[in-house]
Copies of this chain bind each other. A is one copy, B any other.
Amino acid sequence: MHFARQAPYIPAMTARIEVLYHVKADARAIEARAKAIAVEQSVEMPVSAIDDPFVLNEIVGRVDSIDDIGDGVFAVRIGLAPDTTGFEPGQLLNMLFGNTSMQEDTLLVDADFPEEFVTAFRGPNQGLAGFRARAKAESRALTCSALKPQGFPSSELAKLAGQFADGGIDFIKDDHGLADQSYSPFAERVRLCAEAVANSSARTGIPTCYLPSLNGNLDSLRRQVRLVIMAELSAVLIAPMTVGLPSFHTLVRENPDIAFMTHPAMGGGARIAPSFLLGKLFRLLGSDATVFCNYGGRFAYTPKECGRLAQAALKPWSSVRPTIPVPAGGMVPERVPEMLEFYGKDVMLLIGGGLLSAREKLTAETARFVEAVKR
């Protein structure tokens, strides 16, 4: 009986993480497949070889429901034990989808977290209100653009930043491709772009914020945050799936005064529902503003999924502050009225290439975008 634990029987008492998967399967096979996922995402061994009542009752994943949603797809709800996550971001993702991410028949669609996850991870420090305060815009939609292309020297990127700021935009983020490359090293780029934006703001009176793109390991990220603070900036861009969720969340908790805009790169949109990953999970881990692919752009997100994502980011959730949705990806100023109609005012509209295409008319085109949003 070497699998039996010495401790007395403990009945299941704690609330589970309720995870929703969509599974392609034959109707006759779905029950076994659902059980297999529940095992894969918990004990990952034959349950028949486990005697320990604590493991069987408290740790093994539990299939809570299976619903046929048509087209050979089933909505499978599985309850996972909170303790298996160790309340650590990387391990949380591991338990939600680690091994199952390698099985093509299954998508991770959503998860509902017990309150102890809110206590552990705490969500955004700043959220929607933090971005509104920076822009001094209490109730309208916010505006944002992006510094590109990479390959430009820092001085040229700084010129673009100044031109965007002259156009009155609220936020200017580095392209998420800007890291610490030889042609625009992080320290130099941040200093020059911050100066250009500050100079413009001094002229226009508009409090434009510049968000440098952070990257690298945790040592590098911490160094970069110090450079950001030295440049008198208070917001950054970060791609949690490329730096890793543990680094992202650590940085958020260490820097309560910094606003974090998250980028969806490596977000694996096709296997994890963007509404869950970019809306709910990034929010739980501290994203203040979440960039995602708008419908009708060059990515495949549907209006329905975009609506769900915005709702996941904004809706009341215990003490977790709302995260501002930032639809992006091939947007143009002409779409502003339609996007405001769709998202409402709690949104930040991000247009990058669509403004840069205006070339020598960049400032004028930016102003046109900003005016369209303010109207």
Contact = CB atoms under 8 A, between A and B. Distances in A.
A344 interface: no
A256 interface: no
Interface of A: 1-3, 5-7, 36, 40, 42-46, 48-50, 52, 54-55, 58-60, 81, 83-86, 88, 90-91, 93-95, 97-99, 101-105, 148-153, 156, 159-160, 163, 175-177, 179-183, 215-220, 239, 242-247, 249-250, 264-271, 274, 293, 298-300, 352-353, 356-360, 362
Contact of A243 (B90, B148, B359): B90
A293 B100 CA distance: 11
A99 B246 contact: no
11 contacts: A36-B298, A45-B148, A49-B359, A60-B149, A86-B215, A91-B179, A91-B215, A94-B242, A95-B177, A103-B299, A217-B247
A166 to B, nearest CB: 12
A304 to B, nearest CB: 16
Given A5-B153, A98-B239, 15 more contacts: A36-B298, A43-B149, A44-B150, A45-B175, A49-B353, A83-B181, A84-B150, A85-B181, A86-B180, A90-B239, A91-B216, A95-B177, A103-B269, A244-B246, A270-B271
A49 B357 contact: yes
